[in-house]
Structure 1
């Protein structure tokens, strides 16, 4: 389905993106939105494209950078035109090859990475993503988002974490100024307590244990956020109003749709989606309504491809 709609749009407007521009140039203001793909996948599913489009539309004046391990200097222009042409009218999206050693250079993770036998690491796709997101936000500043977030409204805080559960932090979405002391301490702890056999050790567990060194994490009162030192910890309602056990609700028809007025974005729990449920035009599911409103170009392309089959 992906090729069916990605190639049926005008690709003449796709810019040469990263061929003649570097991440440092694009992200130098510290206000970028950063996404990652740590596998070699070059043909992203519609949810990834929706995540990119929704972020680019909400943050019109900020760069949206997608770092992809499968891209390289010789294939980048061809691959962007082939798989991302539907996003060609959004001029603030940039694509970059993801090179681990370059990302880790100058950070506490570099010495750890060059000594590492990648083949012996458990959960390497996730561990490498945990390391890259930290290193990039520490280096450049900005907001990191997993590729299964649909952005709805701008986040009004610069230095923030988000909670899925009370008194715990996720690492699926966070934002900091460059070289912030929180990300610095996370990078150092990442190396000191590295254990690839423990799920989340370098991810949510890392963020939560470092946050606890800043303060006794306050308890949420209703839908209020809490503050820990100079960091805002967002209430689960901001990004996780549908919790992971209920993830299928995104692909169901609701009797009455909610506006998610307390949320800045929604996490669709792609990791949980072993059934490979997708947004289907005409299904009247919550996912369809979200695509229509927040990533209309992707929605139109999927609808067009569906009608032609």
Structure 2
């Protein structure tokens, strides 16, 4: 019996060792997967860009030979952009759309993308209507291109983007739009199609991102008349907001094939009127109409159809991305009364980003004094390279 007992004890010890080794192996495998997902340099494979010279050069950028690599910070080149296709799609991606056709981003737009690159934890994909970039147009834009490996640029064909979606064939009507809102409507519908096909986050180009956005699942932001004030933990109870009438379409996250995006595009295709001068005819109030029809319930801050991945959607309060509502932007973001750092922190403490409403405020100057305007308070921390050019490019 004593021999049998010794054999059993040895067997237990051997089993324990195997269990420890197995646990260590599983732990290392998980850690390696986590590293590859968030930290591996291969997570940001760069598009293949073709380079050509620009006729004019910036004063501070020397002309270099055509064979110069993009990484050598040549600001005097045009970059031919690759088309965005499915194989460019990645996990944890955020899309920005530039639909005007400019081959560059303006200073405040550069700030938006740079802040996302620094703060969001996501891969930022800037989808240009232009087929090329001109790095000579803005120093801040050249800095953005060369300094952030998690920022990628692509062009896209909107007819191809809309193919196999409910807005297939709508480009003819978009091109005839009245009131000068063609690019707005391309953006409003393009953001739906690109997330419907590829999934991810969408963000407007007039924000400053201030927090890691990865914890947020499928969501849309409620737009209230007055900004909602949360508790000190940045929370308000689910279902506590009165019913609203607008859903903000400037930032959201959806998985591939979500039904809300499909229904949004489906209704847009039925109702879109190119003779209308309504800038927002497929904008935030339209998003609210779609949600009401789809979910057939009063809308407040809550999770709709929880557990159904193709229909689930969290409606989250406005302070998460609009800590200042649009009609208060002038009086708060460009304050007549100087603000202390603590006062600014109180305004922005619960926000993942700050929306600046470029349609109303692009003409307002950035002072460089952090007590006078929000750009000057947030810029040096959240988009430092872009903000270093605020005097000439903001």
The C-alpha deviation readout for 1:263-298, integer Å capped at 9, x for no partner, is: 111101111126x11323236322201101211121
1:227 equivalent in structure 2: 303
Deviations 1:60-109 (A, max 9, x none): 4x32111122x21xx43xx1465421112110111112422122122221
Matched ranges for 1:1-309 at <5 A: 12-13=72-73, 19=81, 22-29=84-91, 31-60=92-121, 62-69=122-129, 71-72=130-131, 75-76=132-133, 79-80=134-135, 82-83=137-138, 84-87=141-144, 88-113=146-171, 115-116=172-173, 118-122=175-179, 123-155=181-213, 156-165=215-224, 166-196=244-274, 197=276, 198-213=278-293, 214-219=295-300, 225-229=301-305, 230-248=312-330, 249-252=332-335, 253-255=338-340, 256-259=343-346, 260-273=348-361, 276-282=363-369, 284=371, 285-302=373-390
**Matching residue of 1:222:** none
Corresponding residue SS for 1:200? coil
Structure 2: 5+ residue runs without aligned partners? 1-56, 63-69, 225-243, 306-311
- Structure 1 residue 130: Cα displacement: 0.8
Residue 125 of structure 2 aligns to a residue in which SS? Answer: strand
Partner of 2:238: none
Mapped partners of 1:92, 1:38: distance in 2 = 21
Q: Tell me, in whole angstroms, the C-alpha distance in 2 between the residues paired with 1:240 and 1:190.
A: 25
For structure 1, the 5+ residue unaligned runs are 220-224
Structure 1 residue 238, shift from structure 2 partner: 0.7
After TM superposition, the score normalised by the length of structure 1 is 0.82
Give the match's secondary structure for 1:150: strand
Q: Max radius of gyration: which structure?
A: 2
Q: Per the alignment, do residues 20 and 242 of structure 1 end up closer, same or farther by CA in structure 2, a change over 3 Å counting?
A: closer
Q: Tell me: higher relative CO, structure 1 or 2? Use CA pairs within 8 A at least 6 residues apart.
A: 1
What are the superposed Cα offsets for residues 218-277 of structure 1, whole Å, 9 maximum, x if unpaired?
A: 43xxxxx42222211110111112111111222233243224222111101111126x11
Aligned residues: 288
Instruction: Determine if contact 2:115/2:209 at 8 Å carries over to the other structure.
Output: yes
Superposed CA RMSD: 2.9
For residue 367 of structure 2, give the secondary structure of its aligned residue in structure 1.
Answer: coil
Change in 2 beyond 3 A, CA 1:278/1:215 = farther
Question: Distance between the aligned counterparts of 1:107 and 1:226, measured in 2?
Answer: 28
Structure 1 residues 177 and 21: CA distance shift in structure 2, 3 A: same
1:4 CA displacement: 7.3
Change (3 A) 1:130 1:117: closer
| Bigger mean CA offset, 161-170 vs 124-133 | 161-170
